[in-house]
A and B are shown apart, each in its own frame.
Chain A
Amino acid sequence: MSRRRHSDENDGGQPHKRRRTSEPIEIEDRLESLICRVGEKSTSSLESNLEGLAGVLEADLPNYKNKILRILCTVARLLPEKLTVYSTLVGLLNARNYNFGGEFVESMIRQLKETLKSNLYDEALYLVRFLSDLVNCHVIAAPSMVAMFENFISVVQEQDGPQVRCDWYVYAVLSSLPWVGKELYEKKDVEMERILNQIESYLKRRQKIHVPMLQVWTAEKPHPQEEYLDCLFAQVQKMKKDRWQERHILRPYIAFDSVLCEALQHNLPPFTPPPHSEDAVYPMPKVIFRMFDYTDAPEGPVMPGSHSVERFVIEENLHCIIKSHWRERKTCAAQLLSYPGKNKIPLNYHIVEVIFGELFQLPQPPHIDVMYTTLLIELCKLQPGSLPQVLAQATEMMYMRLDTMNTTCIDRFLNWFSHHLSNFQFRWSWDDWSDCLTQDLDKPKPKFVKEVLEKSMRLSYHQRIVDIVPANFSALIPANPIFIYKYMDESSSSLPGYPVTIAISNAIINRSSNDEILTILKDVPNPNQEDDDDEGDSFNPLKIDVFLQTLLHMAAKSFSHSFSALAKFHEVLKSLTDSDEGKLHILRVVYEAWRNHPQMISVLIDKMIRTQIVDCAAVANWIFSPDMAHDFTRFYVWEILHSTVRKMNKHVQKIQKELETAKEKLEKQHSRKKDSGDEEEDKNSDEEDGLLEEQIERLQEKVESAQSEQKNLFLVIFQRFIMMLTEHLVRCETGGVDFNTPWYKNCIERLQQIFLMHHQTIQQYMVTLENLLFTAELDHHILAVYQQFCALQM
Chain B
Amino acid sequence: MSILNALRSDSYVDISQYRDQHFKGNRYEQEKLLKLSCSLYVGNLSFYTTEEQVYELFSKSGDVKRIVMGLDKVKKTACGFCFVEYYTRADSEHAMRFVNGTRLDDRIIRTDWDAGFKEGRQYGRGKSGGQVRDEYRQDYDPARGGYGKIIKK
Contact = CB atoms under 8 A, between A and B. Distances in A.
Interface of A: 1-6, 8, 11-16, 19, 32-33, 36-37, 70-71, 74-75, 78-79, 324, 327-329, 331, 368-371, 373-374, 377, 415, 419, 422-423, 425, 458-461, 558-560, 599-600, 603, 606, 643, 646-647
27 contacts: A3-B19, A5-B18, A8-B108, A12-B108, A15-B14, A15-B16, A16-B9, A32-B3, A32-B4, A32-B6, A75-B4, A78-B4, A78-B7, A79-B7, A324-B7, A327-B13, A328-B9, A368-B98, A369-B60, A371-B97, A374-B97, A377-B102, A458-B52, A458-B56, A459-B57, A599-B56, A600-B52
B4 A6 contact: no
Contact of B52 (A78, A415, A559): A559
B103 interface: yes
Contacts of A16: 9, 11
A12 B43 CA distance: 12
B138 interface: no
A559 B67 CA distance: 9
B105 interface: yes
Nearest to B62: A368
A73 to B, nearest CB: 9
Contacts of B97: 327-329, 371, 374
B106 A12 contact: no
A558 B51 contact: yes
B79 interface: no
A504 B112 CA distance: 43
A423 B4 contact: no
Interface residues of B, number: 50
B144 to A, nearest CB: 12
Given A74-B1, A459-B57, A647-B63, 6 more contacts: A3-B18, A4-B133, A370-B60, A374-B98, A559-B51, A603-B55
B119 to A, nearest CB: 14
B55 A559 contact: yes
B121 interface: no
Contacts of A14: 11-12
A479 to B, nearest CB: 15
A404 to B, nearest CB: 27
B7 A328 contact: no
Given A11-B108, A560-B51, A3 B21 contact: yes
Interface in B56-70: 56-57, 60-61, 63, 67-69
B26 interface: no
B24 to A, nearest CB: 17
B15 to A, nearest CB: 10
Given A5-B41, A559-B51, A15 B56 contact: no
A266 B101 CA distance: 51
Contacts of A75: 4
Contacts of B18: 2-5
A369 B94 CA distance: 10
Most buried by A among B6, B53, B68: B6
B33 interface: no
B100 A327 contact: no
Contacts of B100: 12
Contacts, number: 131
- In order of increasing CB-CB distance, the 6 nearest A-B pairs are A12-B101, A16-B11, A458-B56, A370-B60, A374-B98, A370-B98
Most buried by A among B13, B16, B102, B110: B102
Nearest to A419: B60
Given A3-B21, A5-B18, A327-B9, A11 B101 contact: yes
Contacts of B110: 5-6, 12
Nearest to B106: A425
B126 to A, nearest CB: 12
Contacts of A370: 60-61, 94, 98-99
Given A71-B3, A329-B98, A599-B55, A5 B16 contact: yes
A79 B6 CA distance: 12
Contacts of A32: 3-6
A606 B17 CA distance: 35
Nearest to A115: B1
Nearest to B54: A559
Nearest to B108: A11
B138 to A, nearest CB: 12
B10 A36 contact: no
A685 to B, nearest CB: 31
Contacts of B128: none
A4 B98 CA distance: 22
B44 interface: yes
B56 A328 contact: no
A646 B59 CA distance: 14
Contacts of B56: 458-459, 599
Contacts of A461: 50, 53
A6 B112 contact: yes
B10 A327 contact: yes
A12 B56 CA distance: 20
Most buried by A among B21, B97, B101: B101
Given A1-B19, A327-B97, A458-B52, A74 B2 contact: yes
Contacts of B10: 327-328
